[in-house]
Amino acid sequence: MGRSSILLMGILFTCCWAAMADAEYMKYKDPKQPINTRIKDLMNRMTLEEKIGQMTQIDRTVASNEVMKKYYIGSVLSGGGSVPAKQASAETWINMVNDFQKGSLSTRLGIPMIYGIDAVHGHNNVYKATIFPHNVGLGATRDPVLVKKIGVATALEVRATGIPYVFAPCIAVCRDPRWGRCYESYSEDHKIVQAMTELIPGLQGDIPSNSPKGVPFVAGKQKVAACAKHFLGDGGTTEGINENNTVISRHGLLSIHMPAYYNSIIQGVATVMISYSSWNGVKMHANRDLITGYLKNTMRFRGFVISDWEGIDRITSPPHANYTYSILTGITAGIDMIMVPSNYTEFIDGLTSLVKNNFIPMSRIDDAVKRILRVKFVMGLFENPLADYSMTKYLGAQEHRELAREAVRKSLVLLKNDESADNPLLPLPKKASKILVAGSHADNIGNQCGGWTIEWQGLSGNITAGTTILTAIKNTVDPKTEVVYIEKPDAAYVKSEKFSYAIVVVGEPPYAETFGDSLNLTIPEPGPSTIKNVCGAIRCVVVLITGRPVMIQPYVDTITALVAAWLPGTEGQGVADVLFGDYGFTGKLSHTWFKTVDQLPMNVGDKHYDPLYPFGFGLTTKPTKVT
């Protein structure tokens, strides 16, 4: 009896041990398993509730450890200016992200959430981050290698705050500068935009040569998942009105606005964001033909498709008028993750009801969740879900600031340098007895960074670490040169003071999205008055800080030299580097500079093309040792 009891106990122990081992071994948690095997294993374990949670992205303002756990939330984001604290440190960011992540990891299956943020010209929400020139300036560099380096630096700074996903690059083709997002576009020419998709391998890492087309790729803990946006035609709306209707043939849409998406997908972009705009009257968030038919089926994109902020709400007019219809239409169109961002329970309940009542097939939900999980597995989130503090050193790193300074130098476009070639004003002499610096943008970090900086709309003032153009000028001139700064000098004063020359720095105030839409594209006062008062009295160089070509024709004859500096970001020293001849001007216009707004839209190749400065224009100077 004793021996059979021992034998029976042994058999039971062996069976229990085998059962426990089997229960503990989950293929989806094994990094040695192929990704498709891991996805299949995890999908087989998930309930509808867990799947719909994965499709939901909420803003950090409504997120918490408990919310992540209760609703199985798949993603959290920071909208523009949505930060854990004013001037928050990298450590504060990491603590917040990790707290949300711990909520996700404590769920039944422990699926990590993915945290996303707008890092559209560097890690622009974060205090003391390096702010690079906006895309409008980078397009003028014609330098994809430089843009790739900016991607590498941005990924490091984003990871420094514990974040693994960025809503960048914007690969819109801005066909009309009246659009308030034109500065987010590299060019009116799709070929330049295509070249600048090099930002993607900078952010994500170089895709392996044997990788199948369309499969997302992210190369480890120092890289971030990227997002090509906004699909499709966002830069071609009527009169440049943001979120408006793009009226164009299918051939035109595919030949102008689609090409950069081919490049992005070949480079392994992880996600694609849908545009608020419409194409020939059909909202893009509702366009199944282009999202599922073209992006997913024809181009074989295998990452996930994400909506814009409350993007499905805007399928109806007014927004949110019939939210059940919006959910049904957006999900059926092929959107995989919905940026809710605050009223997430309404979305979860609505989508659950639509699936349970057979309005949305389970196959559509499974397609969405597979794509989201694929990106999470590719990123290594299951192996390394929590951020550590070892990367905080990269935030605002000196080598990144040097790279941004180089980008500023290469982005400057010289539009005029005196009429007579034998007497150019630029490069400026460093040794001068007294020089005047004037203008609202000369000593203002916020103005030179533009929108999407610290806050969604940007801010005027010295809002983060960096070098203003005034400080850069003082750093560059001879120590004996007197630099006088007066923001709005009058003409009589300028004439009376015996200045050697003047530098006038004026332009647009910060703005983002619809707030930047402009039908007249004029520089606001006191910009024009400052140009008139200073340049009417003395030889001057006007440095324009703008997100696009603006109305400058009335003042050109008064101005000795004219420089388009776009929105250069925090490293104003790059402007002085070129003004004073340490480096030459090399930038070329990637957007046509119009004479009057009545000509718009006007793009290179148009039949009636009569610009003030044509696409590709840019005077050059050689570096000099001039004193």
Question: With contact defined as beta carbons under 8 Å apart, do 328 and 352 qualify?
Answer: no
Tokens 């040569």: give the residue. Answer: 209
Q: How far apart are CA 212 and CA 267, in angstroms?
A: 10
- DSSP E strand stretches across 460-574: 482-486, 502-507, 540-545, 561-564
Question: With contact defined as beta carbons under 8 Å apart, do 175 and 277 qualify?
Answer: no
Q: How far apart are CA 417 and CA 285, in angstroms?
A: 47
Residue 448: its H or E element: helix 445-449
Q: How far apart are CA 64 and CA 71, in angstroms?
A: 11
Residue 94: its H or E element: helix 90-105
In the residue annotation, 308 being an active-site residue is answered as yes
Q: How far apart are CA 266 and CA 506, in angstroms?
A: 41
**Can you give the pLDDT at residue 423?**
85
User: Does this model's pTM top 0.85?
Assistant: yes
Length of the chain: 627
**Can you give the pLDDT at residue 18?**
45
DSSP letter, residue 560: S
Q: How far apart are CA 531 and CA 436, in angstroms?
A: 12
pLDDT in tens, 485-509: 999 999 999 999 999 999 999 999 9
DSSP letter, residue 45: H
Q: How far apart are CA 517 and CA 508, in angstroms?
A: 12
The CA dihedral of 524, 530, 535, 538, to the nearest 10 degrees, is: -170
Tokens 């070329």: give the residue. Answer: 588
The CA dihedral of 604, 605, 607, 608, to the nearest 10 degrees, is: 20
Query: Which is catalytic among the residues 50, 118, 234, 308?
Result: 308
For residue 116, the tally of other CB atoms under 10 A from its CB is 26
Please give the C-alpha separations between residue 57 and each of 42, 53, 272, 283, in angstroms, as whole numbers: 20, 8, 14, 21
Query: Which is catalytic among the residues 513, 517, 571, 577?
Result: 513
In the residue annotation, 606 being an active-site residue is answered as no
| Token digits of residue 255 | 């030949």
* Local structure of 44: helix, strand or coil: helix
pLDDT in tens, 159-168: 999 999 999 9
Extract the residue ranges of the chain whose pLDDT is less than 50: 1, 7-8, 12, 14-21, 626-627
* Local structure of 623: helix, strand or coil: coil
**Can you give the pLDDT at residue 560?**
97
Closest CA to 112 of 392, 380, 388: 380
Tokens 């007497």: give the residue. Answer: 423
Q: What's the distance, CA 229 to chain centroid?
A: 9
| Token digits of residue 589 | 């216009």
